[in-house]
A and B are shown apart, each in its own frame.
Chain A
Amino acid sequence: MAWTTICKSPAPGEPAPNLIDEEAVRAGFSWKAARAELAGLPGGGLNIAYEAVDRQIQAGLGETVALRWLGKNDERREYSYSELAGLSNRFANLLERLGIGKGDRVCVLAGRIPELYVTALGTLKAGAVFCPLFSAFGPEPVRVRLLKSRARLLLTTSLLYQRKIQPQRAQLPDLEHVLLADGGDGESGVRSFHALMETESDRRAPPATLPEDPALLHFTSGTTGTPKGAVHVHDAVAAHRLTGRWVLDLRPGDIYWCTADPGWVTGVSYGIIAPLTNGATLVIDEAEFDVRRWYTILERERVNVWYTAPTAIRMLMKAGADAARGYDVSALRFMASVGEPLNPEGVVWGLETLGQPFHDTWWQTETGAIMIANTRGQDIRPGSMGRPLPGIEAAIVRRRTDGGVDLLEPGEEGELALRAGWPSMFRGYLEDDERYRECFAADWYLSGDLATRDADGYFWFLGRADDMIKTSGHLIGPFEVENVLMGHPAVAEAGMIGKPDDVAGQIVKVFVALKPGHAPDDTLRRELLGFARTRLGPAVAPRELEFMTDLPKTRSGKIMRRLLRARELKLPPGDLSTLENSEGSRI
């Protein structure tokens, strides 16, 4: 069905959007001018944490609440910008005392606890590189990322340490220090975060980082090979701050809630940096999703700007419009969504139920910041990704065999590409130049997303160009999942696909062929699902498993996941010319 455009008109009494007349802004835009709005550091330096915290104190926001933390057992703690500056100085001083500095990687494996935010900002101030690990990863994704990052220090909790680090600590030779947010000193190399922090000064000289110094490391899955570590530099803050203002419509004093976990890029770019660099108060909820809790937070905290995800929106929709009745969400000025395309029903449901449409936004780990968006001042075409922001040149392209690209016309389907050169563009994959180079053709970054653009410049997402899937908004690649299953003695072959799911968007489904002598029964099916889940954790674990006698493969032995997907979705198989064996057979 066709969806009606949601036309914007300013509500009485509401401030004008931060970004209006996008075409005029685009025409006069330069990143140089955007960078000039940053405070910067003496000698041409730049530091994300300094822009996020210390600068706000100079701007008179020292006593404004920077973080409002809501604990899962209904605790409540607030940290002003001044307090956050002091705490992040302490952590930077601590790192220095431990001999951790420029370029060293500091990882965090924790839920949404205040210590995570202090660690992130302190790490950046020390010139080290902050690398978050999602707490719902199992031991295997954690090990791979810690190993690859060569992290020297990890902040975690006692429980997560016992479950995911301690049993494999010997395999992590670079990991010198483990700090526990909730524990005392323990075995060798395990220290109490709070005890160490207590002895440090909360004063520190301004950071000494330059715009092109590495600042953030975000791991992202690949179709093949181990996860890639996308490196971002301090210069990215120009894009974080500007998109926070333009897309999320943030202004000083706003109450802002980003529901994304800082274990992923959204929870860092928009769950830490963008709101703080715009002087907002960041609401952090430690607890898992719960309908009543979420509406209560929107009402009680008087949230003005809310950035959430399609999976959460669909869970709210499932609970029904009645569940939202009786809650006063009148403080909401703007609602946005990210993680995967938001279906038009979700956009419109927001308008009908909460009085605001959800504004979909598009970006990736590699882009570092929002690139294409439905902004507050612009009409929404429900189901569309929106339009590229000023400063961003997006196109639909087709890769040529000579390494170049052809730019396609409106209405044509192709790969979404961005002209390289915006500040938050990743500067490399950690120790993987080849895979970095493969992301570019001429001076275009190729996103791997298939899309089309309409005559008015709105972009529409179509699917992935590869075998990556999105589950609960998280990008998952087949390699990690299949590799773990192949480690089970009964498994001969494994192939992963995304199976459509009403709430999660997609769930991880695996097809498995067994080695001779193993019976494909329910006991083994459960054992394999359990085996994978123990190692991968709930964030990556397959939710369904189906046995096949063999999996469809190309002549070079590559599993054709496209055929597994077509079979699951009852779609035509498409081109079979490269198929080696049968199309694979179900048991």
Chain B
Amino acid sequence: MSTMSREQIRETILRTLGDVIPNADTQAINPDISFHDQLELDSIDFLRLMMNLEKELNVTIFDFDYPKLSTLKGCERYLAEQLVLTA
């Protein structure tokens, strides 16, 4: 897993997001704006996104860090760091 490229991480995030929010146009996501501000998702959706990303990428996301993953760019950065740490 640790050899995943940024592109692969992004693809995984978008696929996971699409699983949680099946009506989301994941290709149109602005990476700098929070998911909350461009998609309709509630706290349960966001929690499912976090937990599914943990499962998909086999990493740990601390609950305190969730705000760091509120945008696509934030997700990529955080998960890339975690993947290096777990490698």
Contact partner, A533, options B23, B47, B63, Cβ 8 Å: B23
Would you call the interface of chain B mostly helix, strand, loop, or mixed? helix
**A231 contacts the other chain (CB 8 A):** no
**A498 contacts the other chain (CB 8 A):** no
CB of A529 to closest CB in B, whole Å = 4
**B4 contacts the other chain (CB 8 A):** no
CB of B18 to closest CB in A, whole Å = 8
Using CB atoms, name the residue of chain B closest to A320.
Answer: B63
A-B contact sample (20 more), CB < 8 A, given A136-B42, A507-B44: A288-B42, A288-B46, A289-B43, A315-B63, A318-B63, A319-B64, A323-B63, A323-B64, A472-B44, A503-B44, A503-B47, A526-B22, A529-B22, A531-B23, A534-B23, A537-B40, A538-B40, A538-B41, A538-B44, A543-B44
Chain B residues in 8 Å Cβ range of A311: 43-44
**B6 contacts the other chain (CB 8 A):** no
Interface size band for B: 10 to 19
**A185 contacts the other chain (CB 8 A):** no
Using CB atoms, name the residue of chain A closest to B20.
Answer: A543
* B positions within 8 Å CB-CB of A: 18-19, 21-23, 36, 40-48, 63-64, 66-67
**A504 contacts the other chain (CB 8 A):** yes
Chain A residues in 8 Å Cβ range of B64: 291-292, 319, 323
Count of A residues near B, CB < 8 Å? Answer: 31
Chain A residues in 8 Å Cβ range of B19: 526
CB of A71 to closest CB in B, whole Å = 13
* A positions within 8 Å CB-CB of B: 136, 138, 163, 288-293, 311, 315, 318-320, 323, 471-472, 503-504, 507, 526-527, 529-531, 533-534, 537-539, 543
CB of B37 to closest CB in A, whole Å = 9
Q: List 23 A-B contacts (CB under 8 A).
A: A136-B40, A138-B40, A163-B40, A289-B43, A290-B67, A291-B63, A291-B64, A291-B66, A292-B67, A315-B47, A315-B63, A318-B63, A320-B63, A323-B63, A472-B43, A503-B44, A504-B44, A529-B23, A530-B22, A533-B22, A538-B42, A538-B44, A538-B45
Chain B residues in 8 Å Cβ range of A291: 63-64, 66
Task: Report the bound CA distance from A534 to B18 in whole Å.
Answer: 13
Task: Report the bound CA distance from A320 to B19 in whole Å.
Answer: 27
Task: Report the bound CA distance from A472 to B22 in whole Å.
Answer: 20
A288, B23: Cβ atoms closer than 8 Å = no
